[in-house]
Amino acid sequence: MANIEALPLLPQVAQYQALAAEKARLDGVSLRDLFAADQGRATKFSASGAGIFLDYSKNLVDERTMSLLFELARARRLPEARDAMFEGAKINLTEGRSVLHTALRLPKNKKLEVDGQDVVRDVHEVLERMRIFADKVRKGEHLGHTGKRIKNIVNIGIGGSDLGPLMAYEALKSYSTREFTVRFISNVDGTDFAENTRDLDIAETLFIVCSKTFTTLETLANARLARELVVSWFESEDAVGKHFVAVSTNRDAVVKFGIQPENMFGFWDWVGGRYSFESAIGLSLMLAIGPDHFDELLSGLHDMDEHFRTAPLEENLPVILALLGLYYNNFHGAASHAVLPYDQYLKRFPAYLQQLDMESNGKRVTRGGQAVNYETGPIIWGEPGTNGQHAFYQLIHQGTKLVPADFIGFARSHNPLSDGDTTMHDLLMANYFAQTEALAFGKTEEEVKAEGTRADLVPHRVFPGNRPTNSLLMERLTPHALGALVALYEHKVFVQGVLWDVNSFDQWGVELGKVLAGRIVPELSAKSVDLKHDGSTNLLIQRYRKLRGLSDES
Ligand code: F6P
């Protein structure tokens, strides 16, 4: 911890104080006013990189606000922090690790040494092994124990070992071979395992056990169930070799579990779990979409890395999104941030971002361990449009809470269907455009009255507007586009972590619940117990035991 460059707490920073005044200056100024005052506003407040166009003009800012935000980024030494991450400095201070998910997508001809080891060579060695294995399975050269072709891929993992590959598999489904049934089992709830395996011919099934640590309770419990299923199906331990592979950084634990090293794909402690689907944790994805499309995904990630690394702050997409997010979070009291993809294939993207963002920046002390006296990471949530419009958009339009939102859309669909003369995609995207327009500019009392609305209904039909949004627009949801989008958010989260001065790369907050659950497990089935929890927890456990027909003696 000695090397931490001490940063003052945010409220002590001059630019932060100036931003508080800036917020007060703009109170009462509407987006209608801001657009009327500046004809070139949309052009001025838009930027692009790695195939993503960002229009951020529908935000409650003007040039002065933005320039103060960029000054704040410089005051927090963002360019230096960014370079340190790319170079492999051990910026994950509490775990003493480098943070190098960006190395997972460096081209083969690059070199990056960490502790004397060229990590790019290591990365490409594993990628090559993954490619060979994926090709074998896809071509029917890797067969099951009884010689059947593999047709089912079951990923067992949780958190980053589930959400990443699952999100990307769903996002790139139109690129995946439809010859495979691909399933993801994560929850320790037996229902997840039962429902995802009940209809599978195990002789045609490959289980991929993904766990960075290979100690995670949920994953190991599900992996044991899968192992028992395979052994009992074939009545032979020998079948395990053909029906299991593991992805982990913990070789010893994998071997102890009974998976041989030749059936294991490794990665490194400098890849955080929530950044790991770009490593071997993405094996199920590579099997589904094929190694070439996986390479395209990596090139999209790398292109956004390069944009983030080299573009001036004022044109830098992750930096712009991060600064705007901080402005609402810290000065407008916005507790949450919505991510609204107008693409059904991105249905798991908000869930994936929840881990990426909330596990990274849901922190209450600075990197140096001091309690913060300002807000840090927001609550991330969202659903695809237009479904969300018929559920929660009401609150965003007319509720009392400010919910800044990112709208994500594409010009071309993978499924260009028509409803009569209207293309479904135009219907979808008309809503994408209309929503940010309605949120920004609303509908005034005068406009509502001018429509001849009954007097008592007027207040109900007024839309206040001034609901800030970012619009992200891309050509099509390709592997490259998904890579660029993922890296955009990875770097946004990084930038915010730097500004808030938190360690975005540990997750101690998940530990306590794990330990307590471990203590409770035996109490739930023991013949008799002497519960020593608080009154509420004791009562609940007693109730549970009673419902399960166990005597209650405490
Ligand atoms: O929930 C905590 C966490 O450590 C996540 O950060 C991680 O993605 C997940 O558990 C799974 O961990 P592992 O890949 O080691 O099983």
Full DSSP string of 13-44: SHHHHHHHHHHHHHTT--HHHHHHH-TTHHHH
Contact of 143 with 163, CB cutoff 8 Å? no
What's the confidence (pLDDT) of residue 151? 98
Residues 6+ apart with CB under 8 A from 331: 19, 20, 22, 23
Whole-number Å distance between alpha carbons of 451 and 445:
10
Beta-carbon neighbour count of residue 259 at 10 Å?
Answer: 23
Would you state the pLDDT for residue 6? 83
Q: What is the pLDDT of residue 554?
A: 45
**Atom 10 of ligand 1, nearest CA residue:** 159
For residues 248 and 212, the answer to whether their CB atoms sit within 8 Å is yes
Pairing of strands 336-341, 379-381: parallel
pLDDT at residue 2 in the model: 39
Q: Is the CB of 469 under 6 A from ligand 1?
A: no
Q: What is the pTM of this model?
A: 0.97
Biggest distance spanned by C-alpha atoms of the chain: 78
CB atoms within 10 A of CB 112: 19
**Beta carbons of 208 and 170 less than 8 angstroms apart:** no
Best probe residue, ligand 1, of 358, 510, 511, 514 (max atoms within 8 Å of C-beta): 510
Name the strand (E) or helix (H) holding 428.
helix 424-441
Q: Tell me how far the alpha carbon of residue 158 lies from the centroid of ligand 1, in angstroms.
A: 6
- Cis geometry, peptide bond prior to residue 386 (ω within 30 degrees of 0): yes
Half-sphere exposure of 30 (CA within 13 A, CB side): 13
Distance (angstroms) between ligand 1 centre and the Cα of 280 equals 15
Neighbouring-strand partners of residue 52: 49
DSSP at 377:
P
Residue 244 C-alpha from the chain's centroid: 27
Q: What is the mean pLDDT of each run of 10 residues along the chain (554 residues)?
A: 72 98 97 97 98 98 98 98 97 97 98 94 98 98 98 98 98 98 98 98 98 96 98 97 97 94 96 98 98 98 98 98 98 98 98 98 98 98 97 98 98 96 96 98 98 98 98 98 99 98 97 93 95 97 96 58
Residue 545 C-alpha to ligand 1 middle, in angstroms? Answer: 30
Ligand 1: atom nearest CA of 248 is 14
Return the best residue to mutate from 155, 212, 512 for the ligand 1 pocket (most ligand atoms within 8 A of CB): 212
Instruction: Show the CA angle centred on residue 387, arms to residues 385 and 389, nearest 5°.
Output: 75
Atom 8 in ligand 1: which residue has the minimum CA distance?
160
- The one-character DSSP state at 400 is S
Atom index in ligand 1 nearest the CA of residue 273 equals 8
Q: Is the CB of 161 under 6 A from ligand 1?
A: yes
For residue 285, the Cα-to-chain-centroid distance in whole angstroms is: 16
Structure tokens at 234: 């074939």
Give the separation between CA 196 and CA 214, rounded to whole angstroms: 21
Measured at the CA of 201, the angle between CA 200 and CA 205, to 5 degrees, comes to 85
Q: What token pair was written down for 525? A: 């089935």
Q: How far is it, in rounded angstroms, from Cα 283 to Cα 208?
A: 8
In whole angstroms, what is the distance from residue 324 CA to residue 314 CA?
12
Count of C-beta atoms within a 10 Å radius of residue 17: 12
- CB-based burial of residue 312 (10 Å sphere; 0-12 exposed, 13-18 middle, 19+ buried)? exposed
Query: Hunting for tokens 């190991």 — which residue is that?
Result: 220
Measured in angstroms, how far is the CA atom of residue 290 from the centroid of ligand 1? 26
For residue 161, what are the CA distances in angstroms to 133, 264, 289? 19, 15, 18
- Choose the residue to mutate in 92, 94, 95, 158 for probing ligand 1, maximizing ligand atoms within 8 Å of C-beta: 158
CB 46 within 8 A of CB 57: yes
Active site residues: 359, 390, 514
Sheet containing 264-266: which strands, arranged edge to edge?
A: 181-185, 152-156, 205-210, 244-248, 264-266
Residue 248 Cβ < 6 Å to ligand 1: no
- Tell whether ligand 1 has an atom less than 6 A from the beta carbon of residue 216: yes
- Identify the three-state secondary structure at position 55: strand
Minimum-distance ligand 1 atom for the alpha carbon of 276: 8
3-class SS at 6?
coil
Of ligand 1's listed atoms, the one at least distance from the Cα of 216 is 16
